[in-house]
């Protein structure tokens, strides 16, 4: 396992759309392991593959509700609304307010290629949405109106 370097905005890679994972092999497992190590080291709530310069639809989320590995995640349903403050490991020293869905249903594969359904809400739902945005090249800074320095 190895900690990877987190790209910083405005690195152009952060604004690219990622490609689906097609092979669930050792390389994917190494990537997921590295991402976990990188996330824990940075003490963040989530990390998406493009943040470590890998253009694959892979992200990890770590909240009080657990640790999630999402491969090719898709948003199946969303309801409600929550407004709160977000930051991002790729936008150091900033934070801003973003409005997102309160409850969501996401279907994603695990690292072995098994399909799983996640029904999450609150902060975990926010983290899921933030990380899944990364996979389409979207940073929270484009969704908030009040980006501030820490």
Partner 1 sequence: MKEHIRAAHDLLVRIYSDRTYADRAFDGEDTGALAARLVYGVLERDTEIEYILSRLVNKRPQKAVWILLKIGVYALLYIDNVPDYAIVSECVEAAKSMGKGGASGFVNAVLQSVAKRRYTLPAPSQPEYLSVHYSKPQWFIDRFRAEYGEQKLLAVLEDKGTDFVHVRVNTRLSTQEAVVKLLEAHAQEYMPSAAGGLLTSVTPLVKSLFREGVITYQSPSSVLAVKALAPGGRTDILDLCSAPGGKAVYCSELAPAATVTACDVHPHRVRLIKSYAERMHADNVKPVLSDATVFDERWEGRFDFVMADVPCSCFGTFRKHPDVFLQRGEEAIAKLAAVQRAIIDNAVRYLKPGGVMVYSTCTLFGEENEDNAEYILKKGLSLQKMPVPFDNDGTLHILPKGEWDGFFIARFTK
Q: Which residues contact 11 (CB under 8 A, 6 or more apart)?
A: 90
Q: How far is the CB of 8 from partner 1 (least distance, A)?
A: 8
- Rounded Cα distance between 112 and 121, Å, is 25
Catalytic residue among 65, 69, 74, 131: 131
Q: How far is the CB of 115 from partner 1 (least distance, A)?
A: 25
- Rounded Cα distance between 136 and 18, Å, is 6
Candidate segments 3-11, 58-66, 89-97, 122-130, binder of partner 1 by CB under 8 A: 3-11
Nearest alpha carbon to residue 113 among 71, 69, 75, 73 = 71
Q: Is 53 in the site for partner 1 (CB under 8 A)?
A: yes
Q: Let me know: does 111 contact 29? Beta carbons within 8 Å.
A: yes
- Rounded Cα distance between 142 and 24, Å, is 32
**Residue 121 a catalytic site member:** no
Q: Please say which residue, 54 or 125, places its beta carbon nearer to partner 1.
A: 54
Q: How far is the CB of 79 from partner 1 (least distance, A)?
A: 35
Could you list the active site residues? 131
| Residues near partner 1 (CB under 8 A) | 5, 7, 11-13, 16, 53-56
């Amino acid at each position: 396992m190895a900690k990877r370097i987190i790209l910083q905005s405005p690195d152009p890679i952060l604004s690219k759309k990622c490609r689906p994972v097609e092979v669930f092999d050792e390389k994917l497992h190494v990537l997921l392991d590295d991402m976990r190590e990188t996330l824990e080291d940075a003490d963040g709530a989530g990390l998406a593959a493009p943040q470590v310069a890998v253009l694959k639809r892979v992200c990890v989320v770590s909240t009080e509700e657990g640790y999630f590995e999402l491969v090719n995640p898709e948003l199946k349903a969303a309801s409600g609304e929550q407004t709160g403050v977000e930051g991002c490991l790729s936008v150091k020293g900033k934070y801003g307010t973003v409005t997102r869905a309160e409850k969501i249903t996401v279907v994603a594969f695990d690292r072995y290629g098994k399909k799983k359904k996640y029904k999450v809400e609150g902060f975990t739902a926010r983290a899921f949405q933030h990380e899944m945005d990364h996979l389409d090249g979207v940073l929270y800074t484009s969704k908030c109106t009040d980006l501030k320095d820490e």
